[in-house]
Amino acid sequence: MNRIKIFDTTLRDGEQSPGCSMNLTEKIEMAKQLEKLGVDVIEAGFAIASPMDHKSVQAIAGAVSNCSVASLARCAKGDIDAAWDAVKDAKHPRIHVFLATSDIHMEYKLKMTREQVLSRISEMVAYAKSLCDDIEFSAEDASRTDWAFLVQCCINAISAGATTLNIPDTVGYSTPQEMSDLIVYLRQNVPGIENVDISVHCHNDLGMAVANSLACIKAGATQVECTVNGIGERAGNASLEELVMALRTRQSFYDAETGINTRQIYRSSKLLSNITGVPIPPSKAIVGANAFAHESGIHQHGVLANAQTYEIMTPAEVGVPQNTMVLGKHSGKHALREKLETMGYELTDEELEAVFTRFKSLADKKKNITGSDLEALVLHRRNNVRGACRLVSHVINAGDGVPNTSCIKLTRDDEVLEEVAIGSGPLDASFKAINRMLNMDIKLESFSLNAVTDGEDAIGEAVVKLEDEHGESYTGTGLSTDIIESSIRAYVNGINKIMEANA
């Protein structure tokens, strides 16, 4: 059985996806969840990109201990120095250097000849190796590179000390057969390749990232680069959950396994969705709301007789919550904690107290509390941290032919703030009131509302994108059975992130 390493780049390539940026606190929380998930390598960022990127890579390097922490770097000394400075305190540091090798990239982007590229690879990989033992080299746009030239690039990288060779399908151009043939060709023609890991990083522009990655594993690749929920630039990356469960479900076919704790997959997916504000499509494989749903009578009959008739994996395998315990307004903290633990959530006493308070409030509005309700409450517990603004109450006056007014009351530490505003609608009035009381010039970029549970009393999750006075964007989320309240909570949550970033 071949052991396949999972290289997670959610916090680097994934964060480059529009609307998926994260602050430092969120990155650390996600990194810790990736560690629980059992990934082998966390690519924490691109240290040279900005002071905040450097700080986040450094913080993640100090926050995790069971997996390698990598920083991306171009083949330039300044990049490599910044990457090493950011990861040097990690228990298992890695420097990931890259250089484009396709003719189109060399001519139009790098303005370099093949000889110059080969020389730069040798020089910069050797320099990175002088700082760190674990060096990964990526031949950017490898799938569109001349194969004979790619062989020479790989030979130079190995000779200079690379321990992992990454063969990216950078623009998602290739097909499974082509990627498989390329891996076989490199294994046959690169001396010493048997002593290093062969990695692949496939993009999803043609919808084949997972298929391409799996074909490479079948051909001999030993590491796959992927992201939670498949987020990433353009159409995204190979989806971690799809790759892992394909290998697990078809283990005899691929003769391969990973070190992933699959029961943490669903939790990781939902956490990322909550942090970024990007919802998981219902039909998303493995983690979508419909992945284990059966509406057809024929399917229902088959599943009731034997789940394997229509389910090739069980919900429990990926950590999908089982809503068997009914919780209501008469339930206590012990029952709540027990239910959350069965769902895989370990909360401190303080965190449980915050969730329990909101649970009681929700139980007064809903007859039955489902596992999805609880999950939503847990994932939004960060909205109640001390020092942030908190919504106390809101009074809305809205209707056809009357002024839309909103009276908002917030607390910030021990201070009570209250303001009234008129707007074109109840939310416009509410947001204006909040801006006025906090003396902030915040612009609403986008707004969306989704039901995260079922029924007439479903919880509504509001997601807002806010722009501060510096032009920086922040995501805010809020939950309530009242969609006006969830929208206001989302706005306040976004405001808190802006104040934290500018503190």
What does the pLDDT look like over 9-63, one tens digit per residue? 999 999 888 778 899 999 999 999 999 999 999 999 999 999 999 999 999 999 9
Architecture of domain 2-276 in this structure: Alpha-Beta Barrel (3.20)
Dihedral-angle region of residue 164 (phi above 0 means left; psi in -120 to 50 means alpha; beta otherwise): beta
Q: What is 69-101 written as a DSSP string?
A: EEEEEESSHHHHHHHHHHHTTSSSEEEEEEEE-
Q: How far is CA 279 from CA 37, 39, 85, 151, 496, in A?
A: 20, 23, 35, 41, 21
Least confident of 86-95, 187-196, 453-462: 453-462
Q: What pLDDT is attached to residue 358?
A: 82
DSSP classification of residue 193: G
pLDDT at residue 290 tops 90: no
Cβ–Cβ < 8 Å for 221, 214: no
Q: What pLDDT is attached to residue 295?
A: 43
Q: What pLDDT is attached to residue 455?
A: 66
Q: Which residues contact 428 (CB under 8 A, 6 or more apart)?
A: 404
What does the pLDDT look like over 216-225, one tens digit per residue? 999 999 999 9
CA 265/CA 250 separation, integer angstroms: 17
Categorize the per-residue pLDDT at 368 as very low, low, confident or very high, splitting at 50, 70 and 90.
low
Categorize the per-residue pLDDT at 367 as very low, low, confident or very high, splitting at 50, 70 and 90.
low
What does the pLDDT look like over 426-441, one tens digit per residue? 999 999 999 999 999 9
What does the pLDDT look like over 451-472, one tens digit per residue? 776 666 677 889 999 999 888 8
Which three-class secondary structure state does DSSP give residue 109? helix
Q: What pLDDT is attached to residue 324?
A: 40
Cβ-defined contacts of 21-25 (< 8 Å, 24+): 21/276, 21/473, 21/475, 22/275, 22/276, 23/474, 23/497, 23/500, 23/501, 24/52, 24/55, 24/56, 24/59, 25/382, 25/500
Q: What pLDDT is attached to residue 325?
A: 43
Q: What pLDDT is attached to residue 401?
A: 85
What does the pLDDT look like over 263-275, one tens digit per residue? 999 999 999 998 9
What does the pLDDT look like over 227-264, one tens digit per residue? 999 999 999 999 999 999 999 999 999 999 999 999 99
Q: How far is CA 445 from CA 245, 375, 400, in A?
A: 36, 27, 26
Q: What pLDDT is attached to residue 298?
A: 57
The domain spans of the chain are 2-276, 295-320, 383-501
Categorize the per-residue pLDDT at 105 as very low, low, confident or very high, splitting at 50, 70 and 90.
very high
Categorize the per-residue pLDDT at 201 as very low, low, confident or very high, splitting at 50, 70 and 90.
very high
Percent of the residues in the chain that have a pLDDT greater than 70, as a whole number: 90
Average pLDDT, the chain: 90
What topology is assigned to 383-501 in CATH?
Double Stranded RNA Binding Domain (3.30.160)
Percent of the residues in the chain that have a pLDDT greater than 90, as a whole number: 66
Q: Token pair of 53, please?
A: 């990127």
Angle between helix 147-160 and 176-189 (nearest 10): 50
